[in-house]
Amino acid sequence: MTRARQKLTVVSSFNHLDVDLTRVRPGSGVELLRNYLQYAASNGRELGDADISGVPLNTFESDVFDCLEAAGLKLIPQMGASQFRIDMVAQHPSKPGRYVLAIESDGATYHSSYTARDRDRLRRQQLENLGWRFHRIWSTDWFMRREEEIQRAIRAYQGAVDFADRLDRGATPDNHHGNGNSREHASAAPAYLRRGPRPAIPVRTSITQYTSTELIQLLRWIASDGQLRTDDQIVDEMIAVLGFSRRGVRIERAIQSAITCWRQRA
């Protein structure tokens, strides 16, 4: 179901309303089939009747949730099922049931596991192909610059609403980036997603010729467009920005070290 690139046609002799959930074991294949028929019938707007998983938010997530709701975002906590949950989902302000932004609030060690990074990347890729936008809030940033993070989340939400409205009007996402990210053409992207001028750091022939300060400046510039990236994606983009044609061990080690310093200073 998640591998169809453009379209998936579902043909069935019954609809989801014909399935009596009181006679179905929770979590069974029959319930999953029923939910998927509902998803198909609603053109992707609904996935079952119980979007909220019932898993409680932790202290940090609850703090973020309360602050963003107070700022006017209509949120659903822990949406999803099993291990595939999104911490908070923001709904469109005037279209009930239209989910526009997935908000993840993770601690600084979240991406230390390669498996976690890979699982997160694949899940995000599948959801972005359906028109979702993602926004991440790091615990260290939240505790040190709460108001800035609230405003950053509000800008991400406004951009996601704008993106959803354009998709609903028939705009076509640009999926030709090779990394699975769904986004519109650059000319139509919200202003907060566009970077400013590249730092005035010359392209050099060796990674050893760059200082740690220069690498951190480039990292901040890459992150300024508001896009969520894993460490691996940041490394790949840094390699392109630095002008290197391959991902060598020394290059990767230097960039990873700069990423660590950048987050410690943030």
Question: In the predicted model, what is the mean pLDDT of the chain?
Answer: 76
Lowest mean pLDDT among 108-122, 190-204, 234-248: 108-122
Q: What confidence tens digit (pLDDT) does each residue in 184-211 have?
A: 333 344 433 456 788 888 888 899 999 9
Nearest to 157 by CA among 82, 104, 90: 90
pLDDT at residue 165 tops 60: yes
Got the DSSP string for 52-89?
B--PPP-HHHHHHHHHHHHTT--EEEEEEETTEEEEEE
Strand locations in the chain, DSSP E? Answer: 75-81, 84-91, 99-106, 133-138
SS3 category, 133:
strand
Instruction: Please tell me the predicted confidence (pLDDT) of residue 80.
Output: 67
Residues 153 and 137 sit within 8 Å (Cβ to Cβ) = yes
Please report the domains of the chain, with CATH numbers, ordered by start residue: 59-168 (3.40.960.10), 195-265 (no CATH)
Phi first, then psi: what are they for 88, rounded to 5°?
-145, 140
pLDDT at residue 104 tops 50: yes
pLDDT at residue 114 tops 50: no
Q: What confidence tens digit (pLDDT) does each residue in 73-90 have?
A: 988 888 765 556 788 889
Residue with tokens 């990394």: 179
